[in-house]
Amino acid sequence: MTWHEPSIVAGAVPTLSGIEFLRAVRDERLPAPPIARLMGMRLTEVEPGRIVFECEPDESVYNPIGTVHGGLLCTLADSVTACAVQTTLPLGMTYTSIDLNISYLRPVTVNSGVLRATGTVTKPGRRVAFASAEIVDAAGKVVATATSSCLIMAAGA
C-alpha cells in the first residue's frame, strides 16, 4: 500500500470552498485522501448538497463469515454524508462528523459489483448540518442507508 503525503490535501482546504476542494479531488487536481485509495473509493459526482462515491469491493475487505465487512460500508456512508456537507461550506469553514447511524439492509459480496454511495444534505446549518446516505449495488438494490450530523467550524479551529 502506498499513498501520498496527506498534508498536500489538507493544505488545500483553507484555500478553497468545500465544493471547489471536492471538485479538485474528483478532477485529480488534488490527490484523493489516503483512506480513499486504501478502500478503493472514487469520487464521481459533486454538486451542492450532493456527492457520489463508487467502490468495487474485493475479497481483501471480507469478514470471517465471507461477506464484505460492514466497516467498508460504514466508511463509505461516513465519507458521502460528510462530503455532502462539505459541498455547502464556504471558504474558511470545515467540519467534523458528530455521529453516524447506519442500517445494513442486505449482504455485500464481490458479486455485488460496484457499490454506489450517494450522500445528500438534508439540513444545512451554521453550526450543525445533517445528511443522509444510500448505498446501492450494481443491480441498484439498496444495501445500506445512513444518517449523520456534522459540526461546522472555522478551518484551523
Q: What is the mean pLDDT of each run of 10 residues along the chain (157 residues)?
A: 78 88 95 90 98 96 94 98 98 95 97 98 97 98 98 87
| pLDDT on residue 147 | 98
CATH superfamily, region 6-154: Hotdog Thioesterase (3.10.129.10)
The answer to whether the CB of 118 falls within 8 A of the CB of 133 is yes
Within 8 A by CB and 6+ apart from 35, the residues are 41, 75, 79
Please tell me the predicted confidence (pLDDT) of residue 43: 97
**Which triple of cell numbers denotes residue 120?**
445528500
pTM of this prediction?
Answer: 0.94
Q: So what's the pLDDT on residue 88?
A: 97
For residue 64, the Cα-to-chain-centroid distance in whole angstroms is: 25
In whole angstroms, give the CA distance from residue 1 to residue 5: 13
Residues 101 and 88: their CA atoms lie apart, in Å, by 21
Give me the pLDDT at residue 6, please.
81
For position 157, what pLDDT does the model report? Answer: 67
Task: Identify whether the C-beta of residue 99 lies closer than 8 Å to the C-beta of residue 109.
Answer: no
**What is Dmax (Cα atoms) for the chain?**
45
Give the C-alpha separation, 97 to 87, whole Å: 14
